[in-house]
Structure 1
Amino acid sequence: MAERLAAARVIVLFVLAFLLSPTLVRGQIGDVSNKDDVHLFLLIGQSNMAGRGRVMPSDETPHPRVFMFNKDKEWVPAIDPLHFDKPKIAGVGLGKTFGIEIAHDNPKIAVGLIPCAVGGSSITTWEPGILHESTKSHPWDDAISRAKAALQSGTLKGILWHQGESDSNAKRSDSYQSDLQDLIERIRTELNAEEVPFLIGQLGQFEERPWNEYRQQVDAAHRSQIELHENNAFVSSYGLKHKGDETHFDTDSYREFGRRYADAYRKLTEADRPDVSQMPFQIERIIAHQGFDKQTCWVHARAGVIPPEVEGSSDSHPEVVLTTQALELTGSDVFHAIHTSRSTDGGAIWTPLVADSDFEREHLSENIEQTVCDFTPAWHAATKTLLGIGHTVVYEKNRVKRVRPRSTAYSVFDPTTGDWSPYQTLKLPDEPRFQNAGAGSAQRLDLPNGDILLPIYFKEPSQNQLSSTVCRCRFDGTDLTYLEHGSEMTVPIKRGLYEPSITSFNGKFYLTMRNDNGAYVAVSDDGLKYSTPQLWRFDDGEELGSYNTQAHWVSHPKGLFLVYTRRGLDNDHVFRHRAPLVIGRVDPETQRVIRATERILVPEYGARLGNFGITEVSEEETWVTVAEWMQPVGVEKYGSNNRIWVARLLWEAD
């Protein structure tokens, strides 16, 4: 009964969205009077464009402004599978996710997807009059016919191509580059699409199926097209997984590929949208781990980097050390030991998650236990150590003790053994207000002399109001020592200000802090004394809408950015609106987020994404890591699977 009611609710919302949409009069593309408001995208290639992923309930839920041109040349709501080339095996592809991304960018348009891919088709079958024997179809003729019929309803805005597996062989790879160039020119001419973006997806890069010289030739042909036309783009498949057949991507990877196609499209078209400020990075997402047993889930996924020259690390690549810990679903913040996983190839391959015995719960007395949580590892260059900092949590009968002490906890990683040292605690001034003081989830800042600016939040154990401050500490490779602290900041709203994170940019220091009702920001000239905290706002003055969760910084020579979650992103079903995870450029003078720059870093599948970390991997790459927090029970119905996401920000060269 509950499932039928939920399905009915989806249908009602879908119909209401149509009726209320300023673009769609009766919910059909054909009803739109202005064809410029209907953005059409041609999906062509072979099976990885058609899609072979397993269909989940979320894939069968339509978006109110995304449509597909079906086999009968009718516009219908887009649901997977979009394609019909091989009905018995067609599944989730990249098209629907791409369409939703584009629809989110512009609420005034409808998106029409024209599926024309044919599984198993060589590029030689994408020519006029050629029959594809196994499907008894004419890939080129059918695609052009369908595209021209669809164009009666809208304007062609993009062509998405993924193909090449059938030509990665000795017979065909030599001519693939010229064949692809010819195909692109024919499509542009036939559809009057000289300036329309043409997006070319990379073949799958699967460890179990290393590329031979023929696949490398096809890949080179794909890449070469961006030099031939300013509106051609190449879309990377780095880190995507196959579904077990070493050929077709899995469902999550198809969705991610769709987002990458959308990012490539945005890069080509941002000049046409003066209201959108360009972001100086590409986003690639990797799933490091996933799987949900409905008893526990991974949370607090954060990573640190060990440079390649350090003894015990990788010889040629930075080694990334990711930490996370298991959470019991039966309570609130019921954590167990921190686990560690490592990658030496940029996140494509990860070691299994292994618990560290030094972070197992410690028995303090009968029914009382203690462990470390909200842990963040980061490289300390002055001592050449990976230093992780979090704080302690005390449990009574496996529930967080209401009145309890709290200490900032820290540990050092040994790359030769893969173990963390037994954790120690930071000694703060012996004053009541520091009896409950921790640096959980904090983003710290290491100064050039090796000193650490460490944000903490604190209170007397029996009190409710929290304050935030920044401590200057010294670390010698083993011991972390408190030196001083700066402004003590709070607001008289519920629990005050807590979970602070710090960064620096252009000679100033910036602090973001959590409050139950909103997020706050303060600025400093020395990293210790801060201005009066102000609510985070967009550049148009509207409140940001982030509340009761943490935010963190990405600081780079190309700009200052905030990573956060907020309400208002079609996410009312998500606990405290803690998904999707987004990034926006910050105006350092006004400390406001520039609304037009906001981008989704990690998509929303019902689970919260509010606890995450930022990792500076290199000057060319920054990572945001986060786990899908599988509470409250049942969020998996939206498609979450306790994924540990890595969103890679790949900075553009000057």
Structure 2
Amino acid sequence: MKRRLLIFWIPILFSAALTLAVDDQTWLSSDDGMDSVTSQRTLCLNGVVDKSNPPIKLVSNQNETTNEPLIASITNETLWRNRDGTSQTWFHPRACMMPGKDGQAVALMTLQPIGGSDYFGQVHWSMSSDLGKTWTDPEPIASLDRDPIPGREDDLTAAVCDVVPQYHPKTDSVLAMGHVVFYKGDYFARKEQLSRYPVYVTRNRDGIWSERKVLQWDDPRGHHIYSNGCGQRVVLPGGDVLMSFTYGPREVNRMVSGVRNSFDGDRLKVKEVGPALHNNKGRGLLEPSVARFGGKYWITLRAEDNRGYVSVSDDGIHYDEKRAWTWDDGKPVEMSTTQQHWMTHSDGLFLVYTRRDESNKNVMRWRSPLWIAQVDLERRCLIKASELVVLPLVGDGVDEPDQVALMGNFHVTHASPEESWVTVGEWMPRNGYRGDVLLARVRWSTPNRLPLW
């Protein structure tokens, strides 16, 4: 696929508006009976050049060795369909890569049904041995169903949601971690939520899932909740697991800290918890995700003040003071209490996120479309010229927002040297919680040299 980058030289004598356009045709594969779709995308940057600046050459997503954008193309596929409401709506589809029996990479995904707001069914798993082209029928994980609560005579049960699987090379196992959630009958028990905490299961090399376990943390600051739900983690070379907690003694003003755990393939144990990051607005800081890039650890944070936040650490425990996400021109990126996640390439760090746009201004929390942009590592901001749509808004986000499927719970997977994935379960809360499971393939122009596991 040919892509052309238009380069503009701006004289210093004039202040001018400029536009950078990259035209890119993308195709949805018709493999395995999927519908073939062709779409045309145009990326535009509009800005004003200061007279005092020297001439500049605009580049987007650039690979320094080839002078080509790192993202070569983005294509979208549907894995499971239920927009018509005749099947099952799957949610929280999150995949990790792991070695198969022949040593080749296979994908393991966890996912669960959704039947209402924060109301989920048993966690299931599915496998793909052909780089996500086909998937096995989801099978339940027995230990991630609803458990009765000892000592209670009502029908309150402890379920699990927000699960993220990750392969652990040292123990040749998969660690799948989410957090506990409480249901009463057929609804989310909003007034009867007990203390919430991380739970996890492991899958050994023989494909056997363990019983449900609790990641213990005996700290009064996490009395109401401590969690790593939906969060990206980093497996260190020695086998320790670096992640983060969102936590608080009350429902509001939750904090975030870096966390280091030991893991032996069976038990996950907290070794160290770092200083807290704060934001005293609404529930505070939520759903943190961690990535390692450029010799540092990066954390991105959901918040409830129409912003998302970023911080950096040398050790993944002690983070600098957080900064609100901005564009490289200093303008804020408007986000509405929705998670963000990292996509890493050996030559660049990217963020996948939702934000306000004129096309989605009436969509709940602006949770469609999904965007991706490259991170300016020095200024810790997003490069506006690099922004692309990963999964587009389908419908009318201005006049018919209730007909737009929301995509606020998604995941990123480093799938191969050639591509990374974004997976998401759509849901339409005003239309019977219907939706499809989507996979976006972000294909690289230069191989990603980061290890798969």
Provide the TM-score with structure 1 as the length reference. 0.57
Q: Are 1:303 and 2:95 counterparts?
A: yes
- Asked whether the 8 Å contact 1:607–1:629 carries over to 2, the reply is yes
Residue 622 of structure 1 corresponds to 420
Count how many residue pairs are aligned between Structure 1 and Structure 2. Answer: 395
Aligned partner of residue 351 in structure 1, secondary structure: coil
Aligned partner of residue 618 in structure 1, secondary structure: coil
Q: What amino acid is aligned across from residue 522 of structure 1 in structure 2?
A: S
Alpha carbons of structure 1 residues 609 and 107: separation in structure 2 relative to 1, 3 Å: farther
- Asked whether the 8 Å contact 2:28–2:77 carries over to 1, the reply is no
For residue 649 of structure 1, report the CA deviation from its aligned partner: 2.1
Q: Are 1:409 and 2:207 counterparts?
A: no
- Asked whether the 8 Å contact 1:391–1:409 carries over to 2, the reply is yes
Identical amino acids, percent of aligned pairs: 32
Residue 146 of structure 2 corresponds to 361
For residue 546 of structure 1, report the CA deviation from its aligned partner: 1.7
Aligned partner of residue 530 in structure 1, secondary structure: coil
Q: What amino acid is aligned across from residue 283 of structure 1 in structure 2?
A: I
For residue 523 of structure 1, report the CA deviation from its aligned partner: 1.2
Distance in 2 (alpha carbons) for counterparts of 1:569 and 1:480: 45
Q: Which has the higher helix share?
A: 1
Aligned partner of residue 529 in structure 1, secondary structure: coil
For residue 414 of structure 1, report the CA deviation from its aligned partner: 4.2
Residue 490 of structure 1 corresponds to 278
Residue 443 of structure 2 corresponds to 650
Q: What amino acid is aligned across from residue 290 of structure 1 in structure 2?
A: R
For residue 463 of structure 1, report the CA deviation from its aligned partner: 3.7
- Asked whether the 8 Å contact 1:239–1:286 carries over to 2, the reply is no
Alpha carbons of structure 1 residues 295 and 487: separation in structure 2 relative to 1, 3 Å: farther
- Asked whether the 8 Å contact 2:253–2:284 carries over to 1, the reply is yes
- Asked whether the 8 Å contact 1:305–1:386 carries over to 2, the reply is no
Provide the TM-score with structure 2 as the length reference. 0.80
Q: Are 1:323 and 2:110 counterparts?
A: yes
- CA deviation string 1:373-402 (max 9, x = no partner): 000001112212111111111123432344
- Asked whether the 8 Å contact 2:131–2:415 carries over to 1, the reply is no
Aligned partner of residue 448 in structure 1, secondary structure: coil
Q: Are 1:444 and 2:236 counterparts?
A: no
Residue 173 of structure 2 corresponds to 385
- Asked whether the 8 Å contact 1:341–1:351 carries over to 2, the reply is yes
Distance in 2 (alpha carbons) for counterparts of 1:569 and 1:317: 44
For residue 274 of structure 1, report the CA deviation from its aligned partner: 4.2
Q: Are 1:524 and 2:313 counterparts?
A: yes
For 2:409, which of 611, 614, 617 is the aligned residue?
611
- Asked whether the 8 Å contact 1:512–1:522 carries over to 2, the reply is yes
- Asked whether the 8 Å contact 1:283–1:648 carries over to 2, the reply is yes
Q: What amino acid is aligned across from residue 351 of structure 1 in structure 2?
A: T
For 1:595, which of 375, 384, 391 is the aligned residue?
384
Alpha carbons of structure 1 residues 519 and 573: separation in structure 2 relative to 1, 3 Å: same
Q: What amino acid is aligned across from residue 272 of structure 2 in structure 1?
A: E
Q: Which has the higher strand share?
A: 2
Q: What amino acid is aligned across from residue 93 of structure 2 in structure 1?
A: A
Distance in 1 (alpha carbons) for counterparts of 2:255 and 2:392: 32
CA RMSD of aligned residues (A): 2.8
Structure 2 stretches of 5 or more lacking a match? 1-17, 45-56, 63-68, 395-403, 448-453
Residue 350 of structure 1 corresponds to 135
Aligned partner of residue 375 in structure 1, secondary structure: strand
Structure 1 stretches of 5 or more lacking a match? 1-105, 110-156, 159-196, 200-234, 243-248, 267-272, 636-640
Residue 398 of structure 2 corresponds to none
Q: What amino acid is aligned across from residue 510 of structure 1 in structure 2?
A: W
Q: What amino acid is aligned across from residue 202 of structure 2 in structure 1?
A: V
For residue 537 of structure 1, report the CA deviation from its aligned partner: 0.6
For residue 108 of structure 1, report the CA deviation from its aligned partner: 11
Residue 210 of structure 2 corresponds to 421
Higher relative contact order (CA 8 A, sep 6+): 2
Larger Rg: 1
Distance in 1 (alpha carbons) for counterparts of 2:364 and 2:261: 35
For 1:501, which of 274, 283, 289 is the aligned residue?
289
Aligned partner of residue 143 in structure 2, secondary structure: helix
For residue 547 of structure 1, report the CA deviation from its aligned partner: 2.1
Alpha carbons of structure 1 residues 643 and 240: separation in structure 2 relative to 1, 3 Å: farther
- CA deviation string 1:215-252 (max 9, x = no partner): xxxxxxxxxxxxxxxxxxxx76646454xxxxxx63xx
Alpha carbons of structure 1 residues 240 and 540: separation in structure 2 relative to 1, 3 Å: farther
Residue 50 of structure 2 corresponds to none
For residue 276 of structure 1, report the CA deviation from its aligned partner: 4.5
For residue 569 of structure 1, report the CA deviation from its aligned partner: 5.0
1:123-522 equivalences under 5 Å are 238=29, 240-242=31-33, 250=35, 253-254=36-37, 257-258=38-39, 262=41, 274=58, 276-278=60-62, 279-281=69-71, 282-292=73-83, 293=85, 297-308=89-100, 313=101, 315=102, 317-329=104-116, 332-364=117-149, 365=152, 366-397=154-185, 398-402=187-191, 403-414=193-204, 416-417=206-207, 419-460=208-249, 462-517=250-305, 518-522=307-311
